């Protein structure tokens, strides 16, 4: 009776404190900006099964440079240990009131026996996993855990006591569970029910054998102490969750459930006509899903380990950015909640009073935001589906549209897009100059063409990329594809402006191009630029621009399979293929370019970082137009990764990648040894023609 009363008081106090803390965190979500994410429930449930319970991103095979699979399996077993032992924890709580308490259906003569075996095995498995974790924290000390310099110097300066404490608490819960059951087996040696349990508990029996020589009295004392320590540690651990990075134990499942279901490469459309603000600058501007992201960060560092900005010594590390926002949110929790509750209700659509200070500058510096390549490598690697890019772009929108504060060189980029519909600022009348002498039809002359070949700005204006455009056009003609171009009517789709935060400029350009396309009743579009491909395919539906968009490698693959194009395997050079972020991670296009290269006879090799784990060339997110410190250039790092395969050719499927990797080869002065070629150029170089 004394035990029951004492434990009941502890339980009520602990649960009361826990729910008080949880209520505060929940009110932060309520105070955040709205987000409509209760659609497509079956898809969301599937994501929970795969990513939350299946731990897919923890245990999937990784490339050699990532080396995360073993640590992922460690987390897998700890996670499932907690899931399975949740029933045991409830049982242990119930033992305060009855020494033979079982959850319904889990008595030894029902399902309890198999469950007890599984529980016993998982307790030991989790203990082994905890040991591995301690070795990593105290022995091997991987940078992913402690932080990457210089972007995460603040994190590197932490003592990381919380990690040791949490591991210690988990280890204590597992150990005391075994000791409790082991002592119970000794004390109740003549009880058929307890002996029925013991038959299913090999490791608890082992603990009982170790306690048996000391006698039933000592075993009873050990079991009783273990029971108290186990339950009090569980309650202490529960109250530590909302205060620590282990809050993800509670929030990770809902965060996965509310994951982004739109195409990976699509950014949200701002309602510029009705908006009262044009970017995120205060902590209460973030949506409740973005706040949930902040709650859910496990601080595992997988995001920062894959970030090209972090790898090249820039001030951005995705993990540190999110932690800085989270820490600021927690520091101002009461203020955020109070101001949101007290704000006046008005019907004029005016923006309510802001909460706290402007976080862009004091908390998240401009340099951090402009360092991002918007490549989403961080999101691809995040096991709990945290979204970083949308937050960064939202803060860029504030800088560009509300503060007019951006790198000086972007002034020319924006002006060129506004006046000449291309970021180079070259006269729009020269857009179709690449086609001179090639007899390329335009939609004005051939409005019923099956395909529109949308060339894009780089393929139209950049001298190096014009060669790729011409090569692809020749292939289309050889295969007898019914296509036409817009010629000088072609407009920039505005992708660069959107990712740089100039949403107003982007929308005006996108709407102009959609009007042109719809005016010609375009239905099928071919493009050899992944930036154009992603924007037209995934973002133009926001402006009633819905088309079948085909990328060049896919079309050429179809033509080869259909026999409309013949490519003898005559290329024969050692070739490494670089995955564009916008074809790869954004649109899952990995195999088609490689298959086309294989048909051409290229001797294919792979970089350590390829496909899902491929690294950005450095041009994404508008970084193509921002000056970069020579010592911090992403393109040079990516070039080094390509050269590690000893190639004769670096193959690309993106004009921006072409520029960046070509510049990397030039910087290393090895143009006579290594070429950078587009996949379409390689196919065009092989003597080919229509199948006979």
What CA–CA distance (Å, rounded) separates 511 from 457?
A: 17
Q: Is residue 34 part of a domain?
A: no
| Domain co-membership, 376 together with 448 | no
pLDDT value for 443: 96
Tell me, letter by letter, the H, E, C secondary structure of 88-106. HHHHHHHCCCCCCCCCCCC
Interior/surface letters 253-279, b for 16+ CB within 10 angstroms, e for the rest = bbbbbbbbeeebbbbeebeeeeeeebb
| Domain co-membership, 541 together with 674 | no
In this prediction, residue 342 has a pLDDT band, given cuts at 50, 70 and 90, of low
pLDDT value for 335: 87
What CA–CA distance (Å, rounded) separates 589 from 595?
A: 11
Paired tokens of 586 = 């954004």
pLDDT value for 351: 55
| Domain co-membership, 7 together with 119 | yes
| Domain co-membership, 342 together with 459 | no
Q: What number of other Cβ atoms are within 10 A of residue 535's Cβ?
A: 30
pLDDT value for 65: 53
The pairing of strands 524-527 and 649-652 is unpaired
DSSP code of residue 437? T
Q: Report percent pLDDT > 70 for the chain.
A: 96
Over residues 216-227, the mean pLDDT reads: 92
In DSSP notation, 14-40 reads HHHHHHHHHHHHHHHHHHSBP------
Over residues 272-291, the mean pLDDT reads: 93
Top-ranked range on mean pLDDT: pick from 190-194, 202-206, 333-337, 510-514? 510-514
Q: Is residue 263 part of a domain?
A: no
Paired tokens of 170 = 């988990």
pLDDT value for 66: 55
The pairs formed by 628-632 with CB atoms below 8 angstroms and a separation of 24 or more are 631/313, 632/312, 632/313, 632/314
CATH classification at residue 392 = 1.10.1060
Q: At what angle do helices 655-667 and 634-643 cross, to 10 degrees?
A: 80
Q: Is residue 212 part of a domain?
A: yes
| Domain co-membership, 585 together with 643 | yes
pLDDT value for 129: 93
CATH classification at residue 144 = 1.20.950
What CA–CA distance (Å, rounded) separates 507 from 682?
A: 36
Q: List Cα–Cα distances, 408 to 36, 174, 399, 577, in angstroms.
A: 36, 58, 13, 34
What CA–CA distance (Å, rounded) separates 482 from 488?
A: 20
Q: Are 487 and 444 in contact (CB under 8 A)?
A: yes
In this prediction, residue 46 has a pLDDT band, given cuts at 50, 70 and 90, of very high
What CA–CA distance (Å, rounded) separates 414 from 499?
A: 12
Which of 402, 434, 459 finishes a domain?
Answer: 402
Q: Which domain holds residue 180?
A: 2-29+61-243
The owner of tokens 């991002």 is 372
Among 436, 537, 462, which Cα is nearest to 495's? 537
CATH classification at residue 492 = 3.40.50
In this prediction, residue 427 has a pLDDT band, given cuts at 50, 70 and 90, of very high
The owner of tokens 């803390």 is 21
| Domain co-membership, 226 together with 89 | yes
| Domain co-membership, 398 together with 417 | no
pLDDT value for 336: 87
| Domain co-membership, 329 together with 423 | no
Q: Is residue 248 part of a domain?
A: no
In this prediction, residue 383 has a pLDDT band, given cuts at 50, 70 and 90, of very high
Q: Is residue 50 part of a domain?
A: no
What CA–CA distance (Å, rounded) separates 195 from 201?
A: 10
| Domain co-membership, 10 together with 120 | yes
Q: Phi/psi class of residue 549: alpha, beta or left (left: φ > 0; alpha: ψ in -120 to 50)?
A: beta
pLDDT in tens, 639-691: 999 999 999 999 999 999 999 999 999 999 999 999 999 999 999 987 765 65
Over residues 20-42, the mean pLDDT reads: 93
Q: Is residue 142 part of a domain?
A: yes
| Domain co-membership, 17 together with 144 | yes
pLDDT at residue 68 greater than cutoff 90: no
DSSP reduced 3-state for 253? helix
Which of 243, 271, 299 finishes a domain?
Answer: 243
Q: Report percent pLDDT > 90 for the chain.
A: 79
Q: Considering Cα of 492, then 497, then 499, then 502, what sign does the dihedral take?
A: negative
| Domain co-membership, 151 together with 16 | yes
Q: Is residue 397 part of a domain?
A: yes
Which of 342, 371, 402 finishes a domain?
Answer: 402
Q: Rg for the chain (alpha carbons), in Å?
A: 30
pLDDT value for 683: 95
In this prediction, residue 354 has a pLDDT band, given cuts at 50, 70 and 90, of low
pLDDT at residue 196 greater than cutoff 80: yes
Q: At what angle do helices 161-187 and 216-240 cross, to 10 degrees?
A: 150
pLDDT at residue 341 greater than cutoff 70: no
What CA–CA distance (Å, rounded) separates 649 from 140?
A: 37
DSSP reduced 3-state for 128? helix
Mean pLDDT of the chain: 92
DSSP reduced 3-state for 609? coil
Instruction: Choose the weakest-confidence range: 95-109, 113-127, 472-486, 668-682.
Output: 95-109
Q: What number of other Cβ atoms are within 10 A of residue 440's Cβ?
A: 22
In DSSP notation, 149-202 reads TTTTHHHHTS--HHHHHHHHHHHHHHHHHHHHHHHHHHHTTT-HHHHHHHTT-H
Residues paired with 287 in a beta bridge = 33
| Domain co-membership, 597 together with 655 | yes
On the 0-12 / 13-18 / 19+ scale of CB atoms within 10 A, 542 is: middle
User: How many structural domains comprise the chain?
Assistant: 4
DSSP code of residue 488? G
pLDDT value for 692: 52
Q: Are 688 and 565 in contact (CB under 8 A)?
A: yes
Paired tokens of 551 = 């990328």
Q: Are 380 and 600 in contact (CB under 8 A)?
A: no
pLDDT value for 665: 97
On the 0-12 / 13-18 / 19+ scale of CB atoms within 10 A, 116 is: buried
Q: Is residue 529 part of a domain?
A: yes
The pairing of strands 483-484 and 649-652 is unpaired
Among 642, 625, 538, which Cα is nearest to 585's? 538
In this prediction, residue 99 has a pLDDT band, given cuts at 50, 70 and 90, of confident
């Amino acid at each position: 009776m004394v035990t029951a009363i004492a434990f009941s008081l502890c339980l009520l106090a602990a649960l009361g404190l826990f729910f008080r803390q949880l209520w505060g965190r929940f009110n932060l979500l309520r105070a955040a900006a709205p987000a409509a994410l209760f659609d497509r429930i079956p898809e969301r449930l599937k994501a929970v099964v795969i990513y939350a319970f299946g731990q897919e991103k923890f245990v999937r095979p990784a490339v050699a440079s990532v080396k995360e699979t073993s640590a992922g399996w460690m987390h897998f077993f700890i996670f499932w240990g907690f899931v399975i032992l949740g029933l045991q924890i409830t049982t242990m709580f119930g033992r305060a009131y009855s020494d033979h308490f079982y959850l319904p259906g889990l008595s030894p003569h029902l399902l309890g026996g198999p469950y007890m075996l599984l529980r016993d095995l998982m307790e030991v498995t989790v203990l082994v996993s905890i040991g591995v974790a301690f070795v990593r924290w105290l022995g091997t000390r991987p940078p992913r855990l402690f932080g990457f310099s210089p972007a995460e110097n603040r994190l590197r300066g932490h003592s990381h006591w919380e990690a040791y404490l949490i591991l210690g608490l988990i280890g204590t819960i597992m150990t005391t569970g075994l000791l409790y059951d082991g002592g119970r087996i000794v004390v109740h040696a003549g009880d058929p029910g307890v002996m029925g349990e013991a038959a299913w508990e090999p490791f608890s029996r082992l603990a009982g054998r170790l306690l048996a020589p000391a006698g039933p009295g000592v075993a009873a004392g050990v079991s009783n102490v273990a029971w108290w320590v186990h339950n009090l540690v569980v309650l202490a651990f529960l109250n530590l969750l909302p205060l620590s990075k282990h809050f993800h134990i509670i929030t990770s499942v809902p965060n996965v459930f509310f994951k982004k279901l739109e195409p990976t490469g699509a950014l949200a459309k701002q309602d510029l006509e009705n908006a009262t603000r044009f970017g995120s600058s205060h902590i209460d501007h973030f949506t409740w899903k973005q706040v949930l992201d902040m709650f859910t960060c496990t601080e595992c560092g997988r995001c920062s380990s894959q970030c090209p900005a972090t790898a090249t010594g820039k001030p951005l590390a995705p993990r540190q950015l999110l932690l800085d926002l989270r820490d600021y949110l927690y520091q101002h929790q009461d203020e955020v909640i109070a101001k949101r509750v007290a704000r006046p209700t008005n019907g004029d659509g005016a923006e309510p009073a802001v909460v706290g200070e402007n976080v862009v500058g004091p908390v998240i510096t401009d340099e951090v935001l402009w360092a991002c390549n918007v490549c989403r490598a961080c999101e691809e690697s995040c096991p709990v589906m945290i979204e970083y890019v949308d937050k960064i772009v939202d803060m860029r929108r504030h800088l560009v549209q509300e503060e007019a504060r951006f790198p000086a060189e972007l002034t020319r980029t924006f002006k060129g897009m506004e006046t000449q519909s291309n970021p180079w600022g070259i006269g729009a009348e020269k857009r179709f100059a690449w086609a001179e002498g090639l007899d390329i039809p335009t939609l004005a002359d051939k409005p019923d063409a099956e395909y529109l070949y949308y060339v894009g700005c780089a393929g139209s204006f950049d001298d190096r990329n014009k060669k790729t455009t011409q090569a692809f056009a020749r292939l289309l003609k050889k295969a007898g594809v019914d296509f036409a171009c817009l010629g000088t009517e072609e407009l920039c789709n505005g992708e660069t402006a959107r990712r740089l935060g100039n949403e107003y400029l982007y929308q005006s350009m996108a709407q102009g191009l959609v009007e042109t396309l719809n005016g010609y009743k375009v239905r099928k579009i071919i493009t050899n630029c992944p930036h154009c491909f992603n924007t037209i395919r995934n973002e133009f539906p926001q402006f009633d621009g819905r088309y079948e968009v085909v990328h060049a490698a896919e079309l050429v693959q179809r033509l080869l399979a259909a026999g409309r194009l013949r490519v003898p395997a005559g290329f024969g050079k050692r070739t490494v293929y670089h995955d564009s972020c916008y074809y790869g991670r954004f649109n899952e296009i990995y195999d088609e370019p490689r298959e086309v290269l294989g048909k051409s006879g290229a001797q294919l090799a792979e970089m350590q970082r390829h496909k899902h784990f491929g690294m950005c060339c450095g041009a994404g997110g508008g970084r193509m137009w921002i000056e970069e410190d020579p010592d911090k250039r992403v393109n040079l790092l990516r070039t080094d990764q390509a050269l590690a395969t000893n190639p004769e050719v670096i193959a690309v499927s993106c004009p921006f990648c072409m520029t960046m990797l070509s510049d990397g080869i030039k910087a290393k002065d090895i143009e006579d040894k290594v070429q950078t070629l587009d996949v379409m150029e390689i196919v065009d170089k092989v003597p080919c023609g229509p199948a006979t």
